Amino acid sequence: MNAIIVSTLLGVIMMFVSWMTTSTRIQKNIGLVGMLLLIAANFLQQKGWWVINFDTKGMLAFNQIGLFANMLLFILTFLYVWINGDEIGKIGNHTADFFAIFFFILCGVSILTSFDNLLMLFIGIEILSIPLYILTGSDKKNLLSNEASLKYFLMGSFSTGVLLLGITLIYGATGSFHLAMPIVNPKTHLVNENFLMSAGLILLFVSMNFKVSAAPFHFWTPDVYDGAPTVFTSFMATIVKAAGFIAFIRVFEAQRIALGYTWPIILSFVIVATLLVGNITAVFQRSVKRMLAYSSIAQAGFMLFALYGNSIFNTEAILLYIVAYSLATIGLFAVLVKMKDYSFDSYNGLAKKHPALAFVTTLFLFSLAGIPLTAGFFAKYYMLNALLTAGAGLWLLIVAILFAAVSVFYYFRLIQAMYFISGEPAINELDKTYELKLWVIAVLIIIMGVFPGFMFNYLYF
């Protein structure tokens, strides 16, 4: 509860900050302090030292895993803002507004990690999505940004409609919005009407797939990610997507039982389609930004594995995957932001001119590709392990790693451009502190790649 309330308050405060000061730098720093406050508030609830609490009639339920997910996403947001603060300041006239939007999104995130009721899921998704439409269109003078925003808004509202319909059908079947639904409908006194229930769950499934950009509901992703200002793409592709996954898992953790044996079949279909579309399309991209958009679809395919089973392995795996994927993606986008154009060629010869920058970029790419000693390896390892433990067929794992090998194809194109092709990189001026910030991410990735356990030690002890 702490996080929800504090983030809302901070959002409101940030809205008014631009009246007090016009300096982007001060606004940014206030935003960063706000993030720290939010992290602290969540930490206090984790430890149980200071908890704002009132009766939500079972709409929200806070457990350690949800709070931990909050923590991870808040810290990721903090890192994201810390690195990209200056770039955010360059877009639009009112920097503080963007921070307000971030806090509202984080409010949505905290609801999505703790809802216990399908209505709260709906509200969480809406609180998360509406600010995103604004962020996407925040580059007002850019036609692409406007187009992306409109597209995202139309598609997003449609999928929200589907979500609502799904919730309605489930209510019809069970007479309850609660996640732990009664088996017997108290109104009709019938055991869950199977057809209604399954139809509702399938609609829910479709809509959640849309939010996490899983194929075949991914069509908005490349255009929106490409059109949105690059700094915000980075935010959407990481923290927002991660929150979507946590909500996805929360809904289907218990409810999949209603789908019975069809669940693995549907899920496998979506997984394979997502891996296929994401990876194969990414190979043919000419723009790094679009490649990263497709790569985020492809990575979503891996994250969907967490839905296959219902054990602690899955939760651990998705949390680790979220962190590994988000860190690397934030890092890559932070480099991309500094590029003059987004083609692969603009990276040519980067290793000669900025060896340190090229090195950290390589690390990020290694992590996404899942090469050992980086966080990405253990993320993939945990996922595959969870999948196998959940009793998935070996064929699914083999498909997964075949596509992991395909992903090396496009990630390494950047490495080839940086190290093996000579040229003049099209990169803007960099200051030393910016590189230093990227090193922080790189070090985090390495630490998690050597000792993946430390994250969970924190969770359990």
DSSP 8-state assignment for residue 194: H
Least Cβ distance, residue 404 to another protein (angstroms): 6
Cβ proximity to another protein, 159 vs 367, nearer residue? 367
- Taking the least distance from each CB to another protein, the nearer of 16 and 395 is 395
CA atoms within 13 A on the CB side of 250: 30
Tell me which of 416, 436, 447, 458 binds another protein, using CB under 8 A. 416
Burial class from Cβ neighbours inside 10 Å (0-12, 13-18, 19+) for residue 459 reads middle
Shortest Å, Cβ 384 to another protein: 5
Closest separation in Å from C-beta 416 to another protein: 6
Nearest approach in angstroms of CB 392 to another protein is: 11
Q: How far is the CB of 316 from another protein (least distance, A)?
A: 9
Taking the complex as a whole, the smallest distance from the CB of residue 79 to another protein amounts, in Å, to 24
Q: How far is the CB of 351 from another protein (least distance, A)?
A: 9
Alpha helices in 48-63 (DSSP H): none
51 φ, ψ (degrees, to nearest 5): -125, 125
Q: Which is nearer to another protein, 82 or 456 (CB)?
A: 456
Q: How far apart are CA 181 and CA 164, in angstroms?
A: 17
Where does 48-94 have alpha helices with state H? Answer: 64-89
> Considering the rule CB under 8 A, would residue 371 count as an interface residue with another protein?
yes
Choice between 143 and 394, CB closer to another protein: 394
Strand partners, 427: 339
Distance from C-alpha of 160 to C-alpha of 14, rounded to nearest angstrom: 28
Tokens, residue 295? 């790569």
> Looking only at residues 437 through 456 of this chain, which bind another protein when binding is defined by CB under 8 A?
451-453, 456
Tokens of 38: 């939010």
Closest CA to 290 of 219, 326, 342, 338: 342
The alpha carbon of residue 169 and the mean position of all alpha carbons in its chain are separated, in whole angstroms, by 28
- Any contact of residue 419 with another protein (CB under 8 A)? yes
- Taking CB under 8 A as the criterion, which residues in 340-369 touch another protein? 366
Contact string (CB under 8 A) for another protein, positions 181-220, x = contact: ----------------------------------------
For residue 322, give the H/E element and its range.
helix 312-337
The CA distance from 371 to 97, in Å, is 39
Residue (158 or 409) nearer to another protein, CB: 409
| Site residues (CB under 8 A) for another protein, limited to 27-66 | none
- Report the C-alpha gap between 103 and 78 in whole angstroms: 11
Closer to another protein by Cβ: residue 31 or 425: 425
* Interface size with another protein, residues (CB under 8 A): 28
Give yes or no for a contact between 101 and 15, defined as CB atoms under 8 angstroms apart: no
Q: Which is nearer to another protein, 237 or 384 (CB)?
A: 384
> Shortest Cβ distance from residue 421 to another protein (Å)?
8
Backbone angles phi, psi at 321, to 5 degrees: -65, -45
Provide the token pair at 303: 């994250």
Cα angle 164, 165, 167; round to 5:
65
Which is closer to another protein, CB of 269 or CB of 395? 395
First to last CA, the chain: 21
Binding mask 372-411 for another protein (x = CB under 8 A): xx-------x--xx--xx----x--xx--xx-xx--xx--
CB distance 61 to 11 below 8 Å = no
Would you state the structure tokens that stand for residue 92, as one six-digit string?
């639009």
Residues facing 191 on adjacent strands: 184
Rule CB under 8 A: choose which of 52, 420, 436, 443 binds another protein: 420
| Least CB distance to another protein at residue 386 (A) | 10
Q: Is position 150 an interface residue for another protein (rule: CB under 8 A)?
A: no
User: Closer CB to another protein, residue 42 or residue 407?
Assistant: 407
Q: Which stretch binds another protein (CB under 8 A): 2-10, 183-191, 256-264, 416-424?
A: 416-424
Q: Does 458 bind another protein (CB under 8 A)?
A: no
Minimum CB separation of residue 431 from another protein in Å reads 24
Q: Judged by CB under 8 A, does residue 158 bind another protein?
A: no
Residue 225 near residue 236, CB atoms below 8 Å? yes
Question: For residues 219 and 412, which CB has a smaller minimum distance to another protein in the complex?
Answer: 412
Element of type H or E holding 398:
helix 394-415
- Taking the C-alpha atoms of residue 369 and residue 380, their distance in angstroms, rounded to an integer, is 9
CB of 443 to another protein, least distance (A): 16
Residues near another protein, by CB under 8 A = 366, 371-373, 381, 384-385, 388-389, 394, 397-398, 401-402, 404-405, 408-409, 412, 416, 419-421, 451-453, 456-457
